[in-house]
Chain A
Amino acid sequence: MTERTRSDCDVAVIGGGLVGSAIAWGLAQQGQTVAVLDEGDVAVRPSRGNFALVWVQGKGLGLPEYAGWTKMSSDTWTGFAERLQEQTGIDVCYRRPGGFLPLLSEEEMERRAGQLRRLHNQPNVVRYDYEMMDRAAVAKEMPFIGKDVVGASYCPLDGHCNSLKLLRALHSGMSLSGVSYRPHHRVERIEPRDGGFRMVTASGDEVRSGKVVIAAGHDARRLAPMVGLDAPVRPERGHVIVTEKTAPFLNFPVGFIRQTDEGGVMIGDSFEDAGLDTTVRNGVTSTIADRALRIFPLLGKLNVVRTWAALRVLTPDGFPIYEQSTTMPGAFVATCHSGVTLAANHALALAPHIAAGTLPDEFSAFSARRFHVPAVA
């Protein structure tokens, strides 16, 4: 117990968005004492602007381990949501009806089929069902598709939730599990101290912990090198449109269109490099609205009530980074752009390893070392 007398907590998690909260909640379920150091609501917070898919299909081309990691999270999501509801009373409205990705030309169909074939032909890739559906098969489930829809890829594992309620449930669960959530704690420095870590915040507060987990989204880029880690992430802007609440008509998440549990239809389908700028650009929203109307013409009757832009946290290859520092053991980094899909894994699979202090070998595929391969001359 001597260490505890020097430390405020077993683990300090830097970042209180979906990734940090899921890990902190998971650590607390392991009996760890945890402090979450968060910038607060001023943070660039993708967790408040995301699209809320729990999505499996198409993920992992180029890194088969990511396909397996994603499927595992999807498979444990139901139990995860139930545990959160039991503990907090908050229903995060997870549904797994299967998801469609509609395609608007033969060329798009071929490209998608080829992608999925290559993904599922990778050596040692996890096996699960998916299907390329023609127009008639899609129309059977959704008779109101537009005339431009040629077909769709479908995967029965895909689902969605209410991601705002997920963030709230995690924070409520953290509080009920004794996690100390500390907003206005922007971390300026992390240094090893007495076998653990010492964090200094922008306002001069000092926090000491046995271990530290950097789950700070865009800020991981700045923080990771302080403990001998690397998180070369960049922001990618995505726009989202949401319509007025409407009686349920869309039973499936459909790529970048989904109807929320409360009835609004979300449309989000844009990818831009725009730095940390979250300004909404009308040209972008009209382009994504146009594609959505080609897929579901009946959306044209709905009023739009809000548009916003949020920033995905992307690594150079789009896959997550999970790693423990070799030079400063006890320091971990966790970053990904699928904080909703992977929340179950972060809470139930990753957190126990961090609590135990070792990431098993299967995590080596997610090390940032993959970005350090010298260029071929």
Chain B
Amino acid sequence: MFQRLPDAGGERVSFTIDGRPAEALSGDSVAAALLANGVGACRTTPVSGAPRGPYCMMGVCFDCLVTIDGTGNQQGCQIRVRPGMRVETQNGKREIER
């Protein structure tokens, strides 16, 4: 659904989404990297279980919450993707231990 602009540049960054190898460009936010990899829904809501994906891309809507390197409820749009980063989609509530 999302395509990169033709002049988008940057180095390739390898990371994982739910354990699967994925690639992004340096400078991408985690949310942008998820969208570029075709992941539209990155979590389900804690109360009703409805799917949610990155929306505002500027830290306001909290819909892009994911688990990053084992810590839950991270705002994907506010964190840059790093080489080797483990990004996991999140089902419902985060766990207090992660």
Name the B residues within 8 Å of A245 (CB-CB).
46-47, 93-94
B95 in the interface (beta carbon within 8 A): yes
Cα distance A301–B97 in the bound complex, in angstroms: 8
B96 in the interface (beta carbon within 8 A): yes
Name the B residues within 8 Å of A246 (CB-CB).
93-96
The answer to whether residues A244 and B97 also contact, given A262-B47, A263-B46 and a CB cut-off of 8 A, is no
B89 in the interface (beta carbon within 8 A): no
B67 in the interface (beta carbon within 8 A): no
Q: Are A262 and B96 in contact (CB under 8 A)?
A: no
Name the A residues within 8 Å of B73 (CB-CB).
244, 303
Interface string of B39-61 (1 = CB under 8 A from A): 00000001100000000000000
Give A249's nearest chain B residue, CB to CB.
Answer: B96
Q: Are B47 and A247 in contact (CB under 8 A)?
A: no
Name the A residues within 8 Å of B96 (CB-CB).
246-247, 249, 298-299, 301-302
A-B pairs with CB below 8 Å: how many?
30
Name the A residues within 8 Å of B94 (CB-CB).
244-247
Least distance between B46 CB and chain A CB atoms (Å): 4
B92 in the interface (beta carbon within 8 A): yes
* Interface positions of A from 283 to 331, Cβ below 8 Å from B: 298-299, 301-303
Name the A residues within 8 Å of B92 (CB-CB).
247
Cα distance A299–B94 in the bound complex, in angstroms: 13
Main secondary structure on B side of the interface with A: loop
Least distance between A228 CB and chain B CB atoms (Å): 48
Q: Are A263 and B97 in contact (CB under 8 A)?
A: no
Name the B residues within 8 Å of A244 (CB-CB).
73, 94
Cα distance A263–B47 in the bound complex, in angstroms: 9
Interface string of B52-76 (1 = CB under 8 A from A): 0000000000000000000101000
Name the A residues within 8 Å of B46 (CB-CB).
245, 262-263
Interface string of B19-50 (1 = CB under 8 A from A): 00000000000000000000000000011000
Cα distance A303–B95 in the bound complex, in angstroms: 12
Name the B residues within 8 Å of A263 (CB-CB).
46-47, 93
Least distance between B76 CB and chain A CB atoms (Å): 15
**Residue among B73, B94, B96 with the highest chain A CB neighbour number at 10 A:** B96
Least distance between A332 CB and chain B CB atoms (Å): 39
Cα distance A301–B95 in the bound complex, in angstroms: 10
Name the B residues within 8 Å of A262 (CB-CB).
46-47
Give A261's nearest chain B residue, CB to CB.
Answer: B47
Interface string of A236-263 (1 = CB under 8 A from B): 0000000011110100000000000011
Least distance between B47 CB and chain A CB atoms (Å): 6
Name the A residues within 8 Å of B47 (CB-CB).
245, 262-263
Cα distance A244–B71 in the bound complex, in angstroms: 13
Name the A residues within 8 Å of B71 (CB-CB).
301
Least distance between A265 CB and chain B CB atoms (Å): 8
Cα distance A249–B93 in the bound complex, in angstroms: 11
Give B91's nearest chain A residue, CB to CB.
Answer: A247
Cα distance A263–B96 in the bound complex, in angstroms: 10
Cα distance A169–B71 in the bound complex, in angstroms: 36
Give B73's nearest chain A residue, CB to CB.
Answer: A244
Name the B residues within 8 Å of A302 (CB-CB).
96
Least distance between B2 CB and chain A CB atoms (Å): 28
Name the A residues within 8 Å of B97 (CB-CB).
298, 301
Q: A245-B94, A301-B97, A303-B73 are in contact. List 19 more A-B contacts (CB 8 A).
A: A244-B73, A245-B93, A246-B94, A246-B95, A246-B96, A247-B92, A247-B93, A247-B94, A247-B96, A249-B95, A249-B96, A262-B46, A263-B46, A263-B47, A263-B93, A298-B96, A301-B71, A301-B96, A302-B96
Q: List 18 A-B contacts (CB under 8 A).
A: A244-B73, A245-B47, A245-B93, A246-B93, A246-B94, A246-B96, A247-B92, A247-B93, A247-B95, A247-B96, A249-B95, A262-B47, A263-B47, A263-B93, A298-B97, A299-B96, A301-B96, A302-B96
What 9 A-B pairs are tightest by C-beta distance, nearest first? Answer: A245-B46, A247-B93, A263-B93, A245-B93, A247-B95, A246-B96, A249-B96, A246-B93, A244-B73
